[in-house]
Amino acid sequence: MEPAGIRWTTVVSELFEENCYLAYLDGRSDCLVIDPGLDPDRIFDELDRRKLVPAAILDTHGHADHIAGNGELKRRWPDCPLLIGTADAPKLTDAMLNLSEPFGMGLVSPPADLTVDDGDRIQYAGIELEVLAIPGHSVGEVVFLARSNTPPVAFVGDVIFSGSVGRSDFPDGDCDALIEGIRSRLFTLPDATVLLSGHGPATTVGREKRFNPFVGGGR
């Protein structure tokens, strides 16, 4: 399912089964690390195995299972910028906001080096990404969209999954906003667009439009 140009590998943290993605281009040794989870050693192993060095750490949102590896990555590569949506930046340094405190973890991350908002465009490791703000699972959740790839690929965090959508029952969740955002921001992309979710397998816009019972044809 990998589109032309961009490549990725997935590192799954066993606790919460969260997907961290390493995205890169053929012939380059730099990469993006997207949503580093609770198993940073496994991320390091995969980076070392593929001889990749992070050019940027991108967090789709600030929940603990998606930011847990930020600190270890920043310790090894202190100059690697950490990016997150502006409205979710406070979660990085607050264990209550990032939902780790209720699990007895008290997990925090280094603060963001750069915050992003809807419509921003960023480029690291040769990969140009457009930022789409889709709140609802988390107030500051963003999708990182590689629109110029063939087909496009979107790192969607916990906005949408194969056959499901993100929870909206957290303190800053909003079910209506989540559903509206999926339909107006993701479902207007080409059907072949690859959706890489924070949990579970990859899917496509076309598949979710047809079969997702929460937002697609089964609703």
Distance CA 149, CA 22 (A): 16
Q: Does the predicted model carry a pTM greater than 0.85?
A: yes
Closest C-alpha to 105, from 147, 135, 71, 58: 71
Q: How far apart are CA 64 and CA 109, in angstroms?
A: 9
pLDDT digits (tens, 9 = 90+) for 19-60: 999 999 999 999 999 999 999 999 999 999 999 999 999 999
What's the one-letter identity of residue 155? F
Is pLDDT at 1 greater than 60 in this prediction?
no
Domains in the chain: ranges and CATH: 6-211 (3.60.15.10)
Q: What is the pLDDT of residue 59?
A: 99
Digit-coded pLDDT (tens) for 97-125 = 999 998 888 999 999 999 999 999 999 99
3-state secondary structure of 84: strand
From CA 18, how far away is CA 38, in angstroms rounded?
Answer: 8
pLDDT band at 217 (very low <50, low <70, confident <90, very high): low
